Structure 1
Amino acid sequence: MKIELGLTSFGDNSDIHTEDSVLPRISSGERIRNVIEEIKLADEVGLDVYGLGEHHRADYAVSDPVTVLAAAASQTEHIRLSSAVTVLSSDDPVRVYERFATLDAVSDGRAEIMAGRGSFIESFPLFGYDLNDYDLLYEEKLDLLMNINKNEKVTWSGQTRPAIDNLGIYPRAVQKEIPIYLATGGTPESSARAGFLGLPITYAIIGGNPGRFRYNVEVYKAAAREGGHDVKSLSIANHSWGYIAETDEQAFKEYYPSTKAHHDVLGKERGWGPYSESAYINEIENGALFVGGPERVARKIIKTVEELDLNRFLIHLPVGSMPHDQIMNAIRLYGEKVKPIVDDYFKDK
């Protein structure tokens, strides 16, 4: 049994919080170059996939993941390169496919699309979309993207963009079809949609006990069977916040400042209360934070994979802005220490 292990990142670029100080943010250019170094290292230590998020705000450096992933493609050999996510509702599916088909060419068949609505909405006014059309935009654009992915010549019509009448979409991907993962924060409706369409799914599990997502997974499988798809052939993934250091104590200490700073910024926007150290430790002990030394993180990954019947597990790193050397060390430990434990456990399953 092969469990794919990988990373996701949003290219966070705010003030850098450490246990001792707060350092000013680096330039977006430097942060993007650091991301490319992180992807290169992830490939070198044998991780399977790297997903990069799309945002259009000052505290994230990456608005166009495909460009950054393409730069990393020429410096990597095996790792699969994905968005995390592509905010499909505010993009054009034709251009999405064309960009990822180009990435697929540069990487020789390693591109993936993680399509979602996005947990931030800044792209909607930026590109002139009405939030009242939130559901319709996603439904129609996902339908068009799937059509393009399967067919060189496309005929399509809908309410949210001009119709296409038997036009070719180029270049075509190196892969027969680019894998399109549907990304969801956990609504059963999204699980049902992905399953019925036969799309692989990625759950964003960033709070609470991961086991509570078992219901969503069962909804996904039931919908896949109803849609006539082979459940065993579909990939079920999750991504959760996490960090690895040499010891549990070091990991707890190094990861907390940036996590609290990030949570408190979003909390002001979304009406959450301030983040506390007790909440942090509770999420490590009982929730969805995968933080600790290699043994601790590996065992928690194994438990979550078995609870949710996952094929792929992604650690989101960093949350908030951390020193680049700490991120690189965590990636190295993930590939060199955590992955062998997970691989060994599942090799005879």
Structure 2
Amino acid sequence: MELGISMFGDLRVDSATGRLQPAQQRLTELIEAIKLMDEVGLDYFGIGEHHRPDYAVPSPEIVLAAAAAVTQRIKLGSAVSVISSSDPVKLYQNFAMIDLLSGGRAELMAGRGSFIESFPLFGYRLEDYDALFAEKLDLLLTINKNERVTWKGKFRAPLDDQAVLPRAVGNHLSIWIAVGGTPQSVVRAGKLGLPLMIAIIGGSPAQFQPLFELYKKTYLENGHDPAKYQVGIHSHALFGDDASSLSNAYFPVYAAQMDRVGRSRGWPAYQRTQFDFGMSKHGALFIGEPEAMVDKILYYQELFGLTRFAAHMDVGAPSHAIIMKSIEIYGTRIAPAIRTALRNR
């Protein structure tokens, strides 16, 4: 199982003034954090795309290109790229360049987007939400398989024997599908034989088990290679030496961000009881001490048959020092223990 980290580039909010952290400072912190992930031996980093004032990253590929220059081994991907409002030609070209710069370490994780700001920003209608994703994904996969492309769709100008260059290393870019839990999206990924990442950020993760079973069943029924089967989860996480101190310090930061997002979606105020349940063995938050986190990650690895676990580590923008400490603990204490346990199974 690959062990990695994802982030969105959340900007810290000054509780006294309400002012947001400068994006330049957060971007600098991100590169320092990715460099540390590589140094402590983590397998994967993913950065999300947002077009809101409380996030620093509208273009994941810019961060990934910068990270490629200061890392040696870690895989570098989006988490996610909102392909519905992107141009698949330019998206492929950008990620192919990252792949070349990094020596074949780039990945593109395609998603429909749980935030909708990119649609009006780039001139798309929300009424076309599903159709846009299906068409853009089809074009992206066509480009990944063919250097010269002839293609016609509804939302983009057609391509007539056009060369899409440069090409990714080995003429193949790793493309994942990210979903939030809808069976239709899981079935689509299974039929296409694409690696699947399921976001589990609330409630009880065990409730998602039928989706993993559906994905594997669909994947195999469509004749895809079992040796290439890849499935992961993306869950909110933060690691520290003392669970009580960590939870008390992090809850106000986490709750404030959940409430900022929730206000635009009609969510009730985030409660401490939700946070405490999330930290329990049966909850979706991977927040706590190394020993407990090793046990929890291994539990869900076995339950779901995971090949990747992505700890999403900057919800609400805890301090840079806290994030760096969390990365260090993950890479030097949690990841080695998990790898040893998996080898001994």
TM-score, normalized by the shorter chain, greater than 0.5: yes
- Cα distance in 2, alignment partners of residues 83 and 284 from structure 1: 26
The aligned residue for residue 228 of structure 1 is 223
Q: In the TM superposition, what is the alpha-carbon distance from 1:222 to its structure 2 partner?
A: 1.6
Which of 208, 214, 221 is equivalent to 1:213?
A: 208
3-state SS of the aligned residue for 2:89? helix
C-alpha contact 1:82 1:111 (8 A) present in aligned 2: yes
> Which piece of structure 1 moves more, 227-236 or 138-147?
227-236
Tell me if 1:291 matches 2:287. Answer: yes
- Cα distance in 2, alignment partners of residues 317 and 30 from structure 1: 17
The aligned residue for residue 333 of structure 1 is 329
What are the Cα deviations for residues 71-94 of structure 1, in whole angstroms up to 9, with x where unaligned?
111100000000000000000000
> Which piece of structure 1 moves more, 247-256 or 21-30?
21-30
- Cα distance in 1, alignment partners of residues 36 and 92 from structure 2: 27
Residues 338 and 93 (structure 1 numbering): CA distance in 2 closer, same or farther, change over 3 Å?
A: same
C-alpha contact 2:6 2:45 (8 A) present in aligned 1: yes
Residues 47 and 57 (structure 1 numbering): CA distance in 2 closer, same or farther, change over 3 Å?
A: same
Tell me if 1:317 matches 2:313. Answer: yes
> How do 1:73-152 and structure 2 match up within 5 A?
73-152=68-147
What are the Cα deviations for residues 290-309 of structure 1, in whole angstroms up to 9, with x where unaligned?
01011111111100111111
The aligned residue for residue 48 of structure 1 is 43
What are the Cα deviations for residues 212-242 of structure 1, in whole angstroms up to 9, with x where unaligned?
1111111111211222112342110111001
3-state SS of the aligned residue for 1:165? strand
- Cα distance in 1, alignment partners of residues 33 and 17 from structure 2: 22
- Cα distance in 2, alignment partners of residues 72 and 268 from structure 1: 33
The aligned residue for residue 343 of structure 1 is 339
What are the Cα deviations for residues 34-71 of structure 1, in whole angstroms up to 9, with x where unaligned?
00111000000000000000001100000111111111
The aligned residue for residue 60 of structure 2 is 65
C-alpha contact 2:186 2:214 (8 A) present in aligned 1: yes
Q: In the TM superposition, what is the alpha-carbon distance from 1:246 to its structure 2 partner?
A: 0.8
- Cα distance in 2, alignment partners of residues 211 and 278 from structure 1: 19
What are the Cα deviations for residues 240-289 of structure 1, in whole angstroms up to 9, with x where unaligned?
00110011112212221211001111121111111111111011113100
Paired AA for residue 30 in structure 1: Q
- Tell me the TM-score normalized by structure 1: 0.96
3-state SS of the aligned residue for 1:59? coil
Q: In the TM superposition, what is the alpha-carbon distance from 1:188 to its structure 2 partner?
A: 0.7
In structure 2, the gaps of 5 or more residues are none
- Cα distance in 1, alignment partners of residues 4 and 25 from structure 2: 23
Paired AA for residue 274 in structure 1: A
C-alpha contact 1:16 1:322 (8 A) present in aligned 2: no
- Cα distance in 2, alignment partners of residues 327 and 23 from structure 1: 21
- Cα distance in 1, alignment partners of residues 18 and 52 from structure 2: 20
- Tell me the TM-score normalized by structure 2: 0.97
Residues 205 and 109 (structure 1 numbering): CA distance in 2 closer, same or farther, change over 3 Å?
A: same
C-alpha contact 1:154 1:169 (8 A) present in aligned 2: yes
The aligned residue for residue 13 of structure 1 is 11
In structure 1, the gaps of 5 or more residues are none
- Cα distance in 2, alignment partners of residues 303 and 210 from structure 1: 11
C-alpha contact 2:49 2:79 (8 A) present in aligned 1: yes
What are the Cα deviations for residues 95-148 of structure 1, in whole angstroms up to 9, with x where unaligned?
000000011111111000000001100000000001111111100110110010
- Cα distance in 2, alignment partners of residues 35 and 14 from structure 1: 13
Which of 256, 265, 270 is equivalent to 1:261?
A: 256
C-alpha contact 2:104 2:169 (8 A) present in aligned 1: yes
Q: In the TM superposition, what is the alpha-carbon distance from 1:176 to its structure 2 partner?
A: 3.2
Paired AA for residue 308 in structure 1: F
> How do 1:177-196 and structure 2 match up within 5 A?
177-196=172-191
- Cα distance in 1, alignment partners of residues 209 and 255 from structure 2: 28
